Amino acid sequence: MTFSLDARFAQFVLLRFALVLWLACFAIAEVRAGLPVAVDGQALPSLAPMVEATTPAVVNIATEGHVELRTNPLFNDPFFRRFFNFPKRSLQRKTQSLGSGVIVDAKRGLVLTNNHVIANADEITVNLRDGRNFKAELVGADPDTDVAVVRIPAENLTALKLADSEQLRIGDFVVAIGNPFGLGQTVTSGIVSALARSGLGITGYEDLIQTDASINPGNSGGALVNLRGELVGINTAIYSKSGGNIGIGFAIPVNMAQQIMEQLVEFGKVQRGFLGAQYQDLSPQLAEAFGLSKSNGALLVSVVAGSPAASAGLAPGDVVTHINDKTVTSAADLRTQIGLNRVGKQVTLQYLRNGKALRTKVEVGAHDAALAGNKLANKRLANTTIGEIPEDSSAYGRIAGVMVYAISRDSPAWHAGLRKGDLITSVNQRPTTSVAEFLAAVNAFNGQLLLSVHRGRQAAYIVIK
């Protein structure tokens, strides 16, 4: 049998078309089959199994509340109100917020979140991933660490296992889970960029985890987990000039959050630890002056008589370098580590005196008791805690006075306009440069109090009747 050139060409074209069609069908089958589940016998890595197990424990939190609008102290004067016909009730503004939280105790229905997520909330709603939602009860909140605990009904909940955040290392992989911008549950990944960040001004007591896992507004209170799905931190803040993520986020270590949670559940508030000493950073110049080779630690400037520090034998000039074998890097670090310990707990301090390394045990005292020293005899300042201006305050050394550490919303001082963080420089035109002077001035008067108050860059007089 013979073929002409045209016939052979036609046969070649048909065979090539059939081959192309067969290859196309094979390719379509491959596409439909998706990616292989393994390469060279090894399964492809995926965070999906861990994420599926952890996300039911991460919740969305929605709040509704109100805040009182700051007004001139004159508006609190009854004569001024009557003269200008101002209403007696204070001016208020409704607030709403969205954030995240983490179920950490399924049996008791406990949810960890940030204080700033639930601050000023009259109503807190917790939304679960499975579509259920509950009205939550506020167990307690600690603004100084930005930790809060709410409780929901313990109905078939999933809780995250808590890791030991002390075991975290720079470079460890972490995953952030939360509710950014109110979009719904979102998962991002990254690494631990740094540990023990402090001096940022985010919270009063800082020992933060830094991560490049994307954290955006609404992620606050959400979970930072390791690759085993264990909770290592509570996402709390971002560093950004635009308000969006730039790869610098911060989380509260779970060990710290757990300590705060236990106190909030037990007492409803945090009983802050107290050493009874003033201290400052050990600069290279100070280290050289004290004959030390390193500048890590906190230098004691003064020790209060009868305080835990004095009872332990500490003295001005001592340099505290470790607490329970954990390095003290700065004065702020010492304040944080002491403040987070329970009152009555015994801790071991390592310190340097004249270049010699020494150790001593200290029983942590009560911070609130130390602040007041004596009880306020004047009932106009009931439920108000006054203390010295702390060293980490921008007003320290610049304004002579005392600071309002805490104040109840139901107190006469609150209704007169006094707020947490205010600096009081005089009582009835009598200067008060220390807590002792403040107590003497306040307790000397049975009538109304005229306080000179500084708030930020503003100053005003407040009358408490």
| CA 447 to each of CA 272, 381, 386: distance values in angstroms, whole numbers, following the listed order | 32, 12, 19
| Type of residue at 94 | K
CA distance 93 to 122: 12
Q: Which residue has the tokens 């600069």?
A: 283
CA distance 93 to 111: 27
CA distance 160 to 231: 6
CA distance 151 to 110: 5
Pairing of strands 384-388, 402-407: antiparallel
One-character DSSP codes across 342-369: PTT-EEEEEEEETTEEEEEEEE-EEHHH
User: Residue 367 catalytic?
Assistant: no
CA distance 245 to 219: 11
Q: Is 311 left (phi over 0), alpha (psi -120 to 50) or beta?
A: alpha
Decide: residue 119, CB within 10 A, 0-12 exposed, 13-18 middle, 19+ buried: middle
User: Residue 220 catalytic?
Assistant: yes
User: Residue 66 catalytic?
Assistant: no
Residues 105, 142, 144, 146: which is the catalytic one?
A: 146
Burial 75-89, CB ≥16 within 10 A → b, else e: ebeeeeeeeeebeee
Decide: residue 240, CB within 10 A, 0-12 exposed, 13-18 middle, 19+ buried: middle
Residues 100, 116, 367, 452: which is the catalytic one?
A: 116
In sequence order, the β-bridge partners of residue 427 are: 430, 451
Task: Please name the residues in contact with 167: beta carbons below 8 A apart, sequence gap of 6 or more.
Answer: none
Decide: residue 99, CB within 10 A, 0-12 exposed, 13-18 middle, 19+ buried: buried
**Which residues does the annotation mark as catalytic?**
116, 146, 220
